[in-house]
Amino acid sequence: MSQQARRSPRRTEALSRERIVEAAVGMLDAAGEGGLTFRALTERLATGPGAIYWHVANKGELLAAATDAVVAAALAAEPEGASPRDRIRALALGLFDAVDAHNWVAAQLSASSWQVTTPRIFEGVGRHVSAMGVPREQWFTVTSVVVQYILGAAAQNAANAQVLGPGADRGEFLAKVSTAWEELDPDDYSFTRTVAQQMREHDDRQQFLDGIDLVLAGITAVHPPAG
**E strand or H helix that includes residue 101:** helix 84-101
Those residues with Cβ within 8 angstroms of residue 89's Cβ, 6 or more apart along the chain or in another chain = 209, 212, 213, 216
Neighbours of 225 (CB within 10 A): 12
Residue 7 shares a structural domain with residue 113: no
Query: Which residues of the chain, if any, have pLDDT below 70?
Result: 1-14, 78, 80, 111-115, 227
| pTM recorded for the entire structure | 0.86
Looking at the 3D structure of the chain, how many domains does it have?
2
Torsion of CA 160, 164, 166, 172, to 10 degrees: -120
Contact 66, 107 (CB under 8 A): no
The confidence score (pLDDT) of residue 36 equals: 93
Exposure string of 46-74, with b = 16+ CB inside 10 Å and e = fewer, is: ebeeebbebbbeeeeebbbbbbbbbbeeb
Q: What is the CATH number of the domain that holds 50?
A: 1.10.10.60
104 shares a domain with 50? no
112-124 pLDDT per residue, tens: 556 688 899 999 9
Instruction: Mark whether 44 and 108 lie in a shared domain.
Output: no
Q: Is residue 69 part of a domain?
A: no
Query: Domain range holding 3?
Result: 1-56
> Does 65 map to a domain?
no
Span 174-200, pLDDT tens digits: 899 999 999 999 999 999 999 999 999
In this structure, the answer to whether residues 100 and 161 fall within a common structural domain is: yes
